[in-house]
Amino acid sequence: MSVPPAETSSPTARLAAFVEDLRQDELPSQVVIRLAQCLLDFVGVSAAGRREAESSTTFVDAVAGFTASAGPATVIGVRRRYPARDAALLNGAFAHSLDFDDTHIASGLHPGAPVIAAALAVGECEDVTGADFLTAVAVGYEVCCRIGLALGRGSYARGFHPTAVAGLFGAVAAGARLRRLTAAQVNSAFGLAGSMAAGSMQYLENGAWNKRLQPGLAAHNAIMALDLVAAGVPGADRVLEGRSGLLTGYSSTPDANALTDGLGRRWVLSGTGIKPYPACRITHGAIDAALQLRSRIGGDIPAEARFTLRIAPTADPIVGGHDARKVHPQNSVDAQFSVYFQTAVALLDGEVTWSSYDQLESARVAHLIDRIELSTGDDVTDTGAVLGCRIDGADLEEIRVDIPSGEPGGDLPWEFVEAKYRGLTGFLEKGVRDEILCWVRNLPHHRPLTALTGLLGS
């Protein structure tokens, strides 16, 4: 059965047309720079995630167990090549495992892990150029972030993980562009993806690995939707805004207008930031405040010091509260989502790195956590924090952070992004590391994507 014509005026159909019609020369220079930075960051966090996350070897073994044969697609840090769907699954999981991947605060999600994972797999198989790849990633990010905005915080309230839910559609958009699908075909692929959208926040209860897998599953399912459309399977119309569509089912506060408001003129993806710490973005305001406080008092934290920490009411269910696993985390996922742990480590060590999770059983961290009094305040931004300290009976001036470090703010310097990338990939041969950087820094160009992926599988 061939894909039937879709109606063209709905928000879903307009997004599908955007995927087909966007020209690379319509991308503002700042969008090109931001996406190149996000790609470099993706490579760095994926390479480190493959190497450092305790879950990654298990993921590789699991996929090897159900993959019947080798394929044409590269998995970062793995010599074997995989079918496109399985490569996308692993790369998306690696990118998200350290919780160090890019973040779009306004939509409450991580666009890069699902979108770039799918685009790399499809683009390598299609043998596209860097310029083609950039345009596909642009439509993928924009679709992902706009759907995240349309879902709003009401998606979290219903227990969904927006990175996986909205990320699935962004991954479909990127892959569809690389396969040169028509708007009608993109619309059908979106419609089929509506039956695959998933992602649950329930992992918070026991620090499970669901969250790490979910962007990879989104990238995998996006390619499956594209394969089904290629075979002629039609998908539902108006899958986003329809009566039984995504916004109705996945959010208590949907805003369909966000899907297309200023589409092609106002680039929502420009708000994507690069994380400086491998932890939930909602903890970063508290980490920044803790580092400032540590500097103010001269480094060492007095044994008698006590702290007050105020975060947003929306942040409290995710990184705060008074559950025992939040206050004293039992594993790395618990700790990635514990504002207590993150604040304590930042105060004690003056940094938060992946090595910080070696201190899960540290008595000094536990002792400092017990001196942190956590509360919420409507005056605090979703990712902000207000940190106070009392030493020798005297209260120091509170430190307020409204916007955490790593946010664009009109500019995100390459020096910051490159330093993070080099720090994450220090185990790679210097020549390989520099070649990857050169390929990415020169986007858009007409060099083949395979020149990049050929460097990533070692």
Residues 33-76 pLDDT 10s: 999 999 999 999 999 999 999 999 999 999 999 987 889 999 99
C-alpha atoms less than 13 angstroms from C-alpha of 299 in its C-beta half-sphere: 0
pLDDT in tens, the chain (458 residues): 455 555 668 999 999 999 999 999 999 999 999 999 999 999 999 999 999 999 999 999 999 999 878 899 999 999 999 999 999 999 999 999 999 999 999 999 999 999 999 999 999 999 999 999 999 999 999 999 999 999 999 999 999 999 999 999 999 999 999 999 999 999 999 999 999 999 999 999 999 999 999 999 999 999 999 999 999 999 999 999 999 999 999 999 999 999 999 999 999 999 999 999 999 999 999 999 999 999 999 888 998 899 999 999 999 999 999 999 999 999 999 999 999 999 999 999 999 999 999 999 999 999 999 999 999 999 999 999 999 999 988 899 999 999 999 998 756 899 999 999 999 999 999 999 999 999 999 999 999 999 999 999 97
Residues 26-37 pLDDT 10s: 999 999 999 999
